[in-house]
Amino acid sequence: MEQKTWPYKSGSHQFTGLPFINKPNKKSTKDPQTHQLNFTSKSSSSSSSSFLSASKCKEPDFSSLPYDVLARIVSSFSLPNLQSASLVCRAWRDALRPLREAMLFLKWGKRFKHGRGGVKPNLKKALDSFLKGAARGSTMAMVDAGLIYWEMGKKEEGIAWYRKAAELGNPAGQCNLGISYLQADPSNAKEAIDWLYQASVAGSVRAQYQLALCWHQGRVLHQNLQEAARWYLRAAEGGYVRAMYNTSLCYASGQGLVQSHRLARKWMKKAADRGHSKAQFEHGLGLFSGGEMMKAVVYLELATRAGETAAAHVKDVIIQQLSATSRDRAIHLADNWRALP
């Protein structure tokens, strides 16, 4: 699949983000679940003060922690972490029972969505499972429910669930909500940037990449290449492959980062080893320039298989300079190549 992640030489900024969201309707919608778990329960000042006073002791009374605070803390927990939290005290065990149930619904929802665990794909059953998990307070289930609504074309419902998860602090929900507003017609730039920034600070590499694109394009923010490169680098360090490729280009061109061909090669190889086809092409060219013919053929072959037609022409030229043994070895390596996680 063609990956357009860097401006064309014409000077126009044609960065593209992840293409899963298109022009949502910002109109609010009612909750799909009538028995939605309430996270805005009032916590009295006495319960808060009792927890604070207890925390000064050697053994704080965790059972006095207000429920709305506890729910916000654990709403994005994985099942093992949730089970561990349930062992703190009886009050937590009882309070977290709905979330433990939610994790089971979330698990079944993913099975139905992707056809795993011996079940056939069934989007309706997947949505039903996610909604049951969301009703019990799982922000991860809220995000998954929002995704399915979006895929069904029910964008209002999707945005509503993204917002619920976002307001409870889920970075994926914040990121999806930000992208929804960014690509709305008309776009809601302020809301989009606010949510993308919150998700980025919380560690969402996808949000960091999207925020970098905004700075680089200058479409909803004033163009700032230093800020763009900073967020590209953070997302790349967090493992986001497209950001690795763009970070390499920043180092190679000196845009937003101090020019360094060594670091440019480092990040280009990282992106190539994780399946980025353009990075495989450019890394192959770099190996060819450095005289490493057989390695160059491997990466150019991978890029060719991924749809980079220009890589095929360069590969054919190099292959003619290799022995039959080296050619066979290079193709064998390409056949057995697996992308790094």
In tens digits, the chain (341 residues) has pLDDT values of 444 455 444 444 333 333 334 444 444 444 444 344 444 444 444 445 554 544 444 556 666 777 777 777 777 777 788 788 888 788 888 878 888 889 899 999 999 999 998 889 999 999 999 999 999 989 999 999 999 999 999 999 999 999 999 999 999 999 999 999 998 878 889 999 999 999 999 999 999 999 999 999 997 889 999 999 999 999 999 999 999 999 999 999 999 999 999 999 999 999 999 999 999 999 999 999 999 999 999 999 999 999 999 999 999 999 999 999 999 999 999 999 999 99
Task: Give the span between the Cα atoms of 289 and 142, in whole angstroms.
Answer: 50
- DSSP, res 36: P
Tokens standing for residue 101: 């149930």
Q: Model-level pTM?
A: 0.77
Determine if residue 81 is left, alpha or beta; phi over 0 gives left, psi from -120 to 50 gives alpha, anything else beta: alpha
- Give 152's contacts (C-beta < 8 A, 6+ positions apart): 123, 127
Task: Give the span between the Cα atoms of 245 and 253, in whole angstroms.
Answer: 13
Question: In terms of Cα–Cα distance, which of 113, 115, 114 is closest to 130?
Answer: 113
